[in-house]
């Protein structure tokens, strides 16, 4: 199984990069992508 997702580290990196804290949706998507699941719309595929 993969390493546990680190919300705090992700949030700090995200804020350093984007100048704002991540939204709840961005945190949720990042957690799923950490485990290899990427959500997309049909237009993106």
3-17 pLDDT, tens digit each:
788 889 999 999 999
Angle subtended at Cα 31 by Cα 10 and Cα 34, rounded to the nearest 5 degrees: 90
- Rounded to an integer, the average pLDDT of 18-36 is 88
Coil, helix or strand for 5? coil
Which band of pLDDT confidence, cut at 50, 70 and 90, is reported for residue 41? low
pLDDT at 37 over 60: yes
**Per-residue buried b or exposed e for 20-41, using 16+ beta carbons within 10 Å of the residue's own CB:** eebeeeeeeebeeeeeeeeeee
If you search the block for the tokens 């990069």, which residue do you land on? 17
Q: What average pLDDT is seen over the chain?
A: 83
Q: Which two tokens stand for residue 18?
A: 């984007």
Sign of CA dihedral 24, 26, 31, 32: positive
């Amino acid at each position: 199984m993969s390493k546990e997702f680190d919300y705090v580290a992700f949030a700090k990196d995200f804020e350093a990069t984007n100048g704002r804290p991540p939204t709840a949706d961005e945190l949720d998507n990042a957690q799923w992508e950490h485990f290899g699941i990427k959500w997309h719309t049909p237009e993106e595929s």
